[in-house]
Chain A
């Protein structure tokens, strides 16, 4: 009697072991990939930023220790400093524009009107295009001569001579900003729209009965309910925007006179145009810190995904 229960217990134990082993087996390729494609480059990037690199050292994987020289360079290089400032301006401007327009469109789509479904499915088109294509389209549209934007402004009489959107350093930043806002609006629209769908009808009706006007309903009832989604959307928007690269290369290439140079584009320039990988890596780390500052907040907001970790078991 004892022997049989003991045997069954042992078999169950070995079954559990086999079960756990299978789980590890399924997970191994992903862990290997994360280590190779994320952990290794991040660690190596930190190493590079403390090295005295040159085109010759690339082949050797390591280079002489350089102390803080690369960071000192970043601190004193006017273009690097400008790129950091531009990144902040670009990110703040994009988020404001994307949120305001995206929220307005989300509210529009939460009303009932003919053609709504088709409109909602077409609005995501900008999202699916390769970013470099979006970039060159905006370069084409904002050309001084033969660009659609100047053509429109002159056709309706708002401008009498072509505006130098891409050649004027101040206007170029606005042009890049417009392109990025255009790119991000569908994302904001879709996320905020699905949040608005989740607002209970009873709540909206109750506010209506209490005599709240449209603006009051929005500010006092709807926004507080969807606030968590607004936070997540802005956070994801921030993360997407600080790493924008292709779009700016497509529209301006960082010019004119580095007026639209962001951390990403200038880092590319340092590493791959002048082959100062150490300096590029130091600038990369500034960007990485900037992007990762939000990661605790990001993890906090996605705690739902993490909490489920201990739930299921096959």
Chain B
């Protein structure tokens, strides 16, 4: 074998290894999609079929129309309303994150304030705080403030995932904007607010989209705050809907699978539409020395 052939063979060997890794990393996603098209009989037959076996749309029909579950004591609710709830929570979290984080990141990067070190340290530490700690206290605080079972309460709680991250990512981006831009705007007579609104925000568009995508996914995928702050009588996001299908003794697998697929849709859409922003956010989230 010539060395050229050898190196080509080695490259294809790498491809093979990467394919094997991807099969393992993507199989769980594949299995839920296949499972979502299986009939209840197949799902409870005790055999897993590697390819769809007698595919049906029944599970999606159940999940969308809210037919009464045969195995559950309670009537399994329609997930279509829950999808809407999750959308509102996701968008609300993105909106809150932007409203709080964009100006804060600007202040922490382009103004010389005495509190900057304290605030940035607090943000780094805030990312460490476990959500269950916040959920326990916020439950009682929200109970007292009548914010349980409300969109506002849930969005404020979900902001804890997104806001510290958003401020740090945007701040890193604002450092890359030359200060001369701000000087020039000021010389032209723009006020501080005008400079921010007309010069800084338009330039920060890509970083803002990155942050909004992540905040949306955090609100959409939140489970712990929904579980602790909603009591099932009012709004219910899709994550909580999936959980309610998991019974103690029997699980309505068809409904779990189909709603699970619905819950994965935004991630799939983002991966295709906003791939660039996701890649930027994933690496920006980490600390860089």
Residues in chain A near residue B99, CB distance under 8 A:
29
| Contact of B17 with A108 in the complex, beta carbons under 8 Å | yes
* Given A41-B141, A124-B278, A298-B125; 18 other pairs, CB 8 A cutoff: A27-B103, A34-B123, A113-B13, A113-B18, A119-B18, A124-B271, A124-B282, A126-B29, A132-B221, A136-B246, A140-B35, A140-B253, A146-B43, A243-B131, A272-B228, A281-B136, A291-B130, A309-B120
**A132 CA to B112 CA, complexed, in Å:** 42
Contact digits for A303-314, partner B, Cβ 8 Å, 1 yes 0 no? 111101111111
Query: Known contacts A105-B21, A249-B243; is A26 also within 8 Å of B196 by CB?
Result: yes
Task: Give A36-78 interface residues, CB cut-off 8 Å to B.
Answer: 36-38, 40-42, 44-45, 48, 58-59, 61
Per-position 1/0 for B141-167, Cβ under 8 A of A:
101100000000000110110010001
In the complex, which of the residues A34, A124, A243 has the most CB atoms of chain B within 10 Å of its own CB atom?
A34
Q: List 17 A-B contacts (CB under 8 A).
A: A30-B101, A33-B159, A38-B122, A38-B134, A41-B137, A45-B137, A59-B143, A109-B18, A125-B25, A129-B263, A141-B31, A148-B48, A194-B283, A284-B133, A287-B130, A288-B129, A304-B288
Say yes or no: B136 contacts A280, CB within 8 Å.
yes
Q: Are B168 and A305 in contact (CB under 8 A)?
A: yes
Shortest Cβ distance from residue B272 to the other chain A in the assembled complex, whole angstroms: 10
Cβ contact within 8 Å between B156 and A41 = no
Q: How far is the CB of A89 from chain B (nearest CB, A)?
A: 17
Decide: A151 near B130, CB < 8 A? Known: A129-B264, A140-B256: no
A3 and B126 CA atoms in complex are apart in Å by 51
Q: Assess whether B15 is in contact with A30, with CB atoms less than 8 Å apart.
A: no
Chain A residue contacts of B286, Cβ below 8 A: 191, 232-233, 236
Q: How far is the CA of A194 from the CA of B163 in the complex (A)?
A: 25
Measuring CB to CB, which residues of chain B are less than 8 angstroms from any residue of chain A? 11-15, 17-19, 21-22, 24-29, 31-32, 35, 43-48, 50, 99-101, 103-104, 106-113, 115-117, 119-141, 143-144, 156-157, 159-160, 163, 167-168, 171-172, 175, 179, 182-183, 192-193, 195-196, 217, 220-224, 227-228, 239, 242-243, 246, 251, 253, 256-257, 260, 263-264, 267, 270-271, 275, 278-279, 282-283, 286-289
The answer for the CA separation of A126 and B22 in the assembled complex, in Å, is: 11
User: Shortest Cβ distance from B147 into chain A, in angstroms?
Assistant: 11
Indicate if the CB atoms of B14 and A44 lie closer than 8 Å: no
A91 at the interface (CB under 8 A from B): no
- Does A310 lie within 8 Å of B128, measured CB to CB? no
User: How many A-B residue pairs lie within 8 Å, measured between CB atoms?
Assistant: 343
For chain A, what secondary structure do more than half of its interface residues adopt (helix, strand, loop), or is it mixed?
A: helix
Q: Digitize A19-39: 1 where CB-to-B-CB distance is under 8 Å, 0 elsewhere.
A: 110111111011101101110
Which residues of B have CB within 8 Å of A121? 271, 275, 279
- Checking B129, B132, B143, B183 against A267 with a beta-carbon cut-off of 8 angstroms, the contacting residue is B132
Are the CB atoms of A268 and B132 closer together than 8 Å?
yes
Closest 3 pairs between A and B when the two form their complex, measured CB to CB: A23-B111, A130-B221, A30-B104
Write out the residue numbers on chain A whose beta carbons fall within 8 Å of the beta carbon of B256: 136, 140
Chain B residues within an 8 Å CB radius of A138: 28
When distances are taken between beta carbons in the complex, the residues of chain B under 8 Å from A136 are 32, 242, 246, 256, 260
Q: Which residues of B contact A41 (CB under 8 A)?
A: 133-134, 136-138, 141
Q: In the complex the two chains form, what is the Cα distance from A249 to B246 in whole Å?
A: 10
**Contact of A260 with B by CB under 8 A:** no
What is the distance, in angstroms, from A65's C-beta to the closest C-beta of chain B? 17
Asked whether any CB of chain B lies closer than 8 Å to the CB of A205, the reply is no
Minimum CB–CB distance from A105 to chain B (whole Å) comes to 6
Q: Which residues of B contact A169 (CB under 8 A)?
A: none
Would you call A44 and B141 a contact (CB within 8 A)? yes
Check A88 for interface membership: any CB of B closer than 8 A: no
For A111, the closest partner residue in chain B by CB is: B14
Q: Let me know if A116 is at the binding interface, CB within 8 A.
A: yes
**Which B residues are in CB contact (< 8 Å) with A277?**
136, 140
User: Contact mask A109-139 → B, CB, 8 Å, 1/0?
Assistant: 1011111100101111111111111101111
**Chain A: minimal CB distance from B234 (Å):** 17
- A272 / chain B contacts, CB cutoff of 8 Å: 139, 227-228
Size of the A side of the interface (Cβ < 8 Å), in residues, is: 112
Nearest neighbor of B172 in chain A, beta-carbon distance: A305
Given the contacts A130-B239, A284-B133, A22 and B193 also touching, CB distance less than 8 Å: yes
Given contacts A125-B26, A298-B128, contact A45 B136 (CB under 8 A): yes
Contact of A292 with B by CB under 8 A? yes
Q: How far is the CA of A213 from the CA of B267 in the complex (A)?
A: 42
Q: For B97, give the chain A residue with the smallest CB separation.
A: A33
Q: Are A146 and B46 in contact (CB under 8 A)?
A: yes
Chain B contacts of A112 at CB under 8 A? 11, 14
A250 to chain B, nearest CB (A): 8
- Alpha-carbon distance between A111 and B17 when the two chains are bound, in angstroms: 12
Most chain B CB neighbours (cut-off 10 Å) among A124, A136, A298, A304: A136
Which residues from chain B contact A44 at a C-beta distance below 8 Å? 137, 140-141
* Complex: chain A residue closest to B239, CB-CB: A132
Residues in A neighbouring B160, C-beta threshold 8 A:
37-38
